[in-house]
Amino acid sequence: MKVVITGGGGFLGLKLAQALLARGALGSTASTQAKLSKLVLLDAAFPDTMPKDPRLEAVVGDVSDGATLERVLTPDTASVFHLAAVVSGAAEADYDLGDRVNLEGTRRLLERARRCVTPPRVVFASSVAAFGGELPPVLDDSTTPTPQTSYGTQKVIGEYLIADMSRKDFIDGRSLRLPTIVVRPGKPNAAASSFASGIIREPLNGVVSECPVAEDTGVWLLSPKRVIECFLHAHDLPATAWGSTRVVNLPGITVSVADMLEGMRRVAGDAVVRRVKFVPDARIQAIVKTWPSRLKTPRAVNMGFQADPDIETVIRDYIADEKIAVAR
């Protein structure tokens, strides 16, 4: 089978690619598994160090470009993981860019997917930024999305397009509303949630990190390890497990900035925590405060998706997975 990952040069895209290559097949049972024969990654750029595998092809291009999509999504494509996006802070700052990539790119990708010989499975990385405005203290699966950012709006429109095309049997889609993913390695990005990784990643590396929000700011989060498991699990579930509702709020844990720092203190010590400096940023605060931090996700749990046990486990897994030499 041929699989495509948009945003394949990004952190999560590469982790997903490595997991797929290691797995060698997709499907939940022996009778439904199909062997991976081709894995195509599409992104605007790729790191110098890429996995070496004859099944892997990296294509540099724009997900909103029709010619690029025609090259990547050939009629024999069986599955698509659509991760490519202009992240929250950048989409808010540059409406036209977010509209072109997050909205028009998704629409064009789905239109191209319609032309596949067999309706492909499409796993879409949506976001809890779908929610906003006047929210209850704890959201659940019945909460109506009312996004308060351009990014969240673009994601919700993508969800509806995927649901409608699935209803029409053009594709077999499933949308995952991702919590904030912590801890992301590398450099900070333009996401409004970037601080949630930065206040852990930078201090562990001996670098001062500026936190733009208050200590009591809550975050609904999931680790990279768990989200990759969720992508694969979402793909492997049969269409009957989704029914007419093609979107799910992924499970996560609610953690305040203070909780994150206390978890890091227990894992790495006081000196590491002292490298976090609070520097308020009204723009980031305005975006983050619209996002939910407490959700009940019985649908996801019943479907077999799993959250992390606690923030300390998330931090310890990051140190182990990225082979971090903690600067104490």
What is the CA angle 237-38-121, rounded to 5? 25
How many whole angstroms from its chain centre is CA 210?
A: 23
Bridge-based pairing of strands 218-222 and 180-181 is parallel
CB 247 within 8 A of CB 303: no
The number of beta carbons lying within 10 Å of the beta carbon of residue 125 is 25
Three-class SS state of 50? coil
* Burial annotation 222-251 (CB, 10 A radius, 16+ → b, else e): bbbbbbbbbbbbbbbbeeeebeeebbbbbb
Find out whether 207 and 156 touch, Cβ atoms under 8 Å.
no
CA separation for the pair 87, 91 (Å, rounded): 6
Active site residue 151: yes
Catalytic hit among 95, 151, 160, 318: 151
Q: Are 173 and 159 in contact (CB under 8 A)?
A: no
Q: Is the dihedral of CA 159, 161, 162, 166 positive or negative?
A: positive
Are 272 and 326 in contact by the 8 Å Cβ rule? The answer is yes
The DSSP letter of residue 54 is T
- Catalytic residue numbers? 151
